[in-house]
Structure 1
Amino acid sequence: MFNLIYEFKLKPSQAQIAIFEEWLEQCRRVYNYALCERKDWVNSRKCQVNACSIKSEYIILGDAPAPTYSSQCESLTQAKKNIPELKLVHSQVLQQTLKRLQLAFEGMWKNGKGFPRYKKLGRMRSYVFPTLGKEPIQGNRVKLPKIGQVKFNQSRPLPDDATIKQARIVKRSSGWYVQLTLQWKVDLPQISPSGTSIGIDVGLIHFAAVSNGRLFPNPRPFNRLESKLKSLQKQVANKRLGSNNRAKAQAKVSRLHERIANTRKNYHWELAHNLCDWADMIFAEQLNLKGLAKGMLAKSCLDAGWGQFLEILQACCFKRGVYFQKVPASRTSQTCPKCLKETGKKKLSKRVHKCQFCGYVCDRDVAAARIIEIRGLQAVGHTVDKLSEGKANIPEDVKLRLPVTEESPALSAG
């Protein structure tokens, strides 16, 4: 049994859009109020009793317990008696907002994330219906509690034997969307590591280098549209705060951001399917994404979106029945794939691998991809002694879904 998320675009009426907007605002206020309660309790425990701040100090009883999800849910029930706007929102939707805050604090405690921040106007973009009624999907409409039936564009059919567990309403610059979480009772097949294999090395000059000699270009969607984004952001800064013209200018910025994200994600999916067409086993490097996001080339690394690509590649391999595994990325560019000897460090400007021991010459990224393939094969129990001569065996009926820049001369000459 596993969960699937199907996303569809909603086609709500103007009255339903007004309800969506009002519910988002009420969820934002509940989130901020609950966060303020927790923040005040934390601040009241920061200083000693005999060393209070001169300007101000949070005064909360010493035996007062820390606010929790359950206690704040009880406070929310009491607040509904005094605030009529909260009664308009489904009770479980507001409870899920408090649970969202609880998960934010758990992420701070366990995963080292930052302290949760307040949501300013427009920052709350989604809320969740944890349960739906019987037969929530009726034709091209989804039935939401306390809202009613909302039209949506069903771009693909839902599995007949799957159960709809919850729905998330998401607001984007291109419109409103619904994310349906389906629970599917199926037996997942275990993918065995067998058949043909390839290794993948990601980079900035070439987005992906494959061990068969193919080099895929880096699309750089943010870099190509950065000047246009900067111009639109200047227009937003020049508009009066709170005016309609400022809101229109901000909507243009949001649409451009969504266009950049969609362009990047579409490239990742096409490349993932292209790689799954070539092999039965795919090996990729285990990257320190947090470290790369803080380095000198942080903007370029984030523009490439390697983390999203590896997640998409893993999901695509699972869907296509291809074995996927990550291997350590250390010294992949310092090892010769022909004789498996270390050749020493290379400067980033040196783009060609030339082994001083065996004389093997090929593109630097392709050599690293071949080392990744060798490590992956060794990890699954296959014996690999040296690099096989010539180009990897690619079926003739498999076509390229994306353009490639070139092939590594050393591999294409075979």
Structure 2
Amino acid sequence: MLTLTYEYKLKPTKQQIQEIENTLAVCRKVWNYALRERKDWVNSRKCKVNACSIEYEYIIKANELFPNYHVQAKRLTEAKKNNPELKSVNAQVLQQVLRTLDRAWEDMKSRNFGFPRFKKYFRMKSFVFPQLKGEIVKAGRVKLPQLGWVKFYQSRPIPDGFVVKQARVVRRASGYFVMLSLQLDVNVPNIPFRGHPIGIDVGLDSFLATSEGQLIARPKFFNALHRQMELLQRRLKFKKLGSNNRNKLNAKIARLHQKISDTRKDFHFKTAHNICAQGDSIFVEDIDFKTWAKGMFCKHTLDAGFGQFFTILSYVSWKRGKYFGKVNKDGTSQICPNCDAHTGKKTLNIRIHSCPECGYTTNRDVAASQVIRNRGISAVGQMVLENAY
């Protein structure tokens, strides 16, 4: 099964905007109520029966079941009988809110994620229609439950044979968007290693270096607008909480953040296509970017968005029929790509690789990318046919 997600910008009417905002508000209330139920149940089991706090304690029956998705979905159905606000929203949309909370709760335990947070107005940004029936897209319009036919900018057509399975409506600083999940019942084989290989080394001196000798400078997406962001957030401190002026300034800050995010994403896609146009197999380092984000250069690392770039590069490689693989990152700057000799550790101020054994000299990052390429070729069971000149 092949699944794609296409994103389009909506052009809703005033009435449709009110319906979207009402749906987001109800979803936020359901999330907060369900999360409060789970927190209360956990807090009621924290202390021993003979060692309760003398100030206050959560008291819930001993035989009360943990409020998981199934329990809360049943309670939601019962609550809709007496609550007209819950009736105003599609039932499946509210069920998906509970499923998302249940998934976040499980990730907290299994993947060591943080505790799910309560949602305020600006944090509940989207809701999803999990099932769509009939004709969904027609002549620049998309049909959504409750909203009816909504106009949108159809920037690209839906591919032939794909079926629209679900839709997610997203509120952003620049407007409302719809993300359509498309499915096609077809088996997609894995792309084998073939053709001309390219190794990529990422860093902060240059955004990346390729084994072909190409160096791409690192754009400073956040730093370029940091002063403007700082001035806006300084003004925000003096605005009254809940006032219209504060909301307007918050919207302005959000648009600036989205501009930074969109610029970074556009650069990543263009760079990924540029790399895929040069070779048939792409190799990168297997890096834990969470660790990178906690180091001395955490701000610059997060600004570069290396994790997002690798995700985009793997997608673009798959879409263009290129092989994408990850190799061990250890010691890539300590080995000569020409003779495989160990050259020792290099400090960050040393930007030139010079091998004492064979005399091969090149840029340090380019040499590391060539080592990554050689490791990738060896990992897929092929011999290195050509070393660096």
Q: How does 1:324-343 map to 2 (within 5 A)?
A: 324-343=324-343
Q: Deviations over 1:105-139 (max 9, x none)?
A: 11112111011110112210000000112112122
Residues 1:47 and 2:47 are matched in the alignment: yes
Residues 1:190 and 2:199 are matched in the alignment: no
Residue 410 of structure 1 corresponds to: none
Residue 322 of structure 1 corresponds to: 322
- The SS at the match of 2:277 is helix
- The whole-number CA distance in structure 1 between the counterparts of 2:388 and 2:203 is 24
Structure 2: 5+ residue runs without aligned partners? none
Tell me the CA shift for residue 10 of structure 1.
0.3
Deviant stretches of 4+, over 4 Å: none
- The whole-number CA distance in structure 1 between the counterparts of 2:54 and 2:122 is 36
Residue 376 of structure 1 corresponds to: 376
Q: Deviations over 1:196-251 (max 9, x none)?
A: 11100000110010011110000110111111111111122221111111111111
Q: How does 1:11-160 map to 2 (within 5 A)?
A: 11-160=11-160
Q: How does 1:121-270 map to 2 (within 5 A)?
A: 121-270=121-270
- The whole-number CA distance in structure 2 between the counterparts of 1:282 and 1:386 is 16
- The whole-number CA distance in structure 2 between the counterparts of 1:357 and 1:8 is 56
- The whole-number CA distance in structure 1 between the counterparts of 2:297 and 2:54 is 44
Tell me the CA shift for residue 187 of structure 1.
3.5
- The SS at the match of 1:278 is coil
Residue 291 of structure 1 corresponds to: 291
- Counterpart amino acid of 2:207? F
Tell me the CA shift for residue 178 of structure 1.
0.4
Q: Deviations over 1:53-92 (max 9, x none)?
A: 1221100111111011011011111111222111100000
Q: Deviations over 1:17-37 (max 9, x none)?
A: 011011101000000000000
- The whole-number CA distance in structure 2 between the counterparts of 1:102 and 1:190 is 32
- The whole-number CA distance in structure 1 between the counterparts of 2:15 and 2:111 is 41
Tell me the CA shift for residue 350 of structure 1.
1.1
Tell me the CA shift for residue 96 of structure 1.
0.4
Tell me the CA shift for residue 386 of structure 1.
6.6
Residues 1:362 and 2:383 are matched in the alignment: no
Are 2:200 and 2:210, in contact at CA under 8 Å, matched by a contact in 1? yes
Percentage of pairs with the same residue? 52
Are 1:133 and 1:145, in contact at CA under 8 Å, matched by a contact in 2? no
- The whole-number CA distance in structure 2 between the counterparts of 1:200 and 1:234 is 40
- The whole-number CA distance in structure 2 between the counterparts of 1:140 and 1:157 is 10
Q: Deviations over 1:30-50 (max 9, x none)?
A: 000000000000011111111
- The whole-number CA distance in structure 2 between the counterparts of 1:133 and 1:52 is 54
Structure 1: 5+ residue runs without aligned partners? 390-414
Normalized against structure 2, the TM-score is what? 0.98
Q: Deviations over 1:372-406 (max 9, x none)?
A: 000000011111277231xxxxxxxxxxxxxxxxx
- The whole-number CA distance in structure 2 between the counterparts of 1:50 and 1:117 is 31
- The SS at the match of 1:238 is coil
- The whole-number CA distance in structure 2 between the counterparts of 1:230 and 1:243 is 21
Residues 1:307 and 2:316 are matched in the alignment: no
Q: How does 1:341-360 map to 2 (within 5 A)?
A: 341-360=341-360
**Which range moves more in the overlay, 217-226 or 349-358?**
349-358
- Counterpart amino acid of 2:14? Q
Aligned residues: 389
- The SS at the match of 2:181 is strand
Are 1:194 and 1:280, in contact at CA under 8 Å, matched by a contact in 2? yes
- The whole-number CA distance in structure 2 between the counterparts of 1:272 and 1:344 is 32
Tell me the CA shift for residue 358 of structure 1.
1.8
Are 2:9 and 2:152, in contact at CA under 8 Å, matched by a contact in 1? yes
